[in-house]
Amino acid sequence: MLSLLAFIRGSARSFPAKSSVTVGLLAIVLAGCGSSRVSASATTGTVLNPPSHSAGMMPPPLPVSRRLNGIGATIARMIAVHGEDRGSGGPCSIAPLCFGAPIRQAVSQTFQFIAVIETGGVIDGYIQEFPAGTSLAVAQSQIMKWLPPDATTSGPVALSDDGSCGVYNISSPTLAKVFARIPAIDDPSGVLGVELSYSSPTVRSTYDPNNIQTASITAVPIGPDDEC
């Protein structure tokens, strides 16, 4: 299973610059972004996927998508709730949209929601960023703040391969209803996989429950055999 961080690590070697997410994929790593699961189009540099030409044949998103504030929401809703961040030379340079307030991390500055994935008109993944030194409890609270009220979590489990991360799943019947109407998301159970970490100065993903800087959240459940 390829994580977003693993993809960035491989791609970033060709980028000499060290900006936030700006001049290339290396910037996302230095901004403290963890890993995430991505669609095939993300490997071309387009992280926010526009609806496909066949999207018009799909049922429109449920009205609840226009009331959600994070995963499962529409782009228009995210802009209304969090504000839109754009601009060359900033951490949104490789993705069409970022959302939320600026976040200062140990290496550089980023925004609250980056690397947004949209499928079939709703958001089904993003990286949520936190200031350096954020505790596990605070990070989990902030993650749940923007998910439906019926969302429940499993406990974090530490994994490691080339680095380490804390992973767990979040289940939501509301998201199950939203995702079930969009076959391309392939998550009718409404289970999200969450990966917690921070990136050290050596661009190594590390899990520290007292220093959560990045949560990669996608509509792909995390299994016991997955790696960071």
125 part of a folded domain: yes
Higher pLDDT, 225 or 179: 179
Number of separate domains in the chain? 1
Whole-model pTM above 0.75?
Answer: no
pLDDT by residue (tens digit) across 119-131?
999 999 999 999 9
Contact between residue 134 and residue 213 where contact means Cβ atoms under 8 Å apart: yes
Q: Quick check: 72 pLDDT over 80?
A: yes
Residue bearing the bigger pLDDT, 35 or 113: 113
State the average pLDDT over residues 53-69. Answer: 64
Q: Which two tokens stand for residue 198?
A: 């921070």
**Do residues 32 and 134 touch, judged by C-beta distance below 8 A?**
no
Residue 226: inside a domain? no
Is 98 part of any domain?
A: yes
What average pLDDT does this structure show over 101-122? 87
Does 75 reside within a domain?
yes
Q: Is residue 223 part of a domain?
A: no
Is 225 part of any domain?
no
pLDDT at 82 over 90: yes
92 versus 5: which is more confidently predicted? 92
On whether residue 46 sits in a domain, the answer given is yes
pLDDT at 19 (0 to 100) = 32
pLDDT of residue 70: 96
Does residue 110 belong to any structural domain of this protein? yes
The helices-and-strands tally (H runs, E runs) of the chain is: 5, 10
* Residue 89 pLDDT greater than 60, yes or no: no
Which positions ≥6 away from 63 have C-beta within 8 Å?
A: none
Domain membership of residue 130 as a residue range = 4-218
Mean pLDDT of 23-44: 33
Where does the pLDDT of residue 29 fall: very low under 50, low under 70, confident under 90, or very high at 90 and above? very low
DSSP assignment string, 110-147: EEEEEEEEEETTEEEEEEEE--TT--HHHHHHHHHHTS
What is the per-residue pLDDT for 160? 72
